[in-house]
Amino acid sequence: MKNVITLIILIFTTLTVSAQIGVSKSKIIQNNSDYILDVTEDGTEYITYVVEFDNYDRHVACYLTNKEDDEEQICYRVAYIEPSSETNNWVRYFNNENFIKLEGMTWKDYEHSMLYEVVVKDGSCLVIKSYDEKL
């Protein structure tokens, strides 16, 4: 039973993890009716929203940048904040996907040039996904 629950969580994680990088600002807003648009101290615009699961909420922040041709902004980095109890599920996910473990709690998906960093602090698990231009 525990394996079935883990599989279901991994399926939902896979669907939501791969969905935001490269997605336009308007598409993120369209897919998440309850969102907040804000700006970091350095002027980076971002959108936050919450994904509800049965036993916890995932807070998502999509950081935006302009495309080269100055069209609509797109998401270039995503941060997921969940309870620290979800850390093992993330580690299992990265290992099951055969991502390359770099140093500490960092994995690289060379096929899609994605970098994942996990930070556990104060009862929360923060997963940062970003496009990595370095090969």
Nearest-Å Rg of the Cα atoms of the chain is 15
Segment 59-83 mean pLDDT: 89
Element (H, E) at 14: helix 2-17
Q: What range defines the domain where residue 72 resides?
A: 2-131
| Tally of domains in the chain | 1
The single-letter code of the amino acid at 104 is: G
pLDDT above 80: residue 48 = yes
**Is the distance from CB of 24 to CB of 38 less than 8 angstroms?**
no
Least confident of 14-23, 52-61, 123-132: 14-23
pLDDT at 69: 66
Phi first, then psi: give them for residue 125, nearest 5 degrees.
Answer: -110, 120
pLDDT at 4: 35
pTM (predicted TM-score) = 0.79
pLDDT above 50: residue 11 = no
pLDDT at 20: 81
Segment 88-112 mean pLDDT: 95
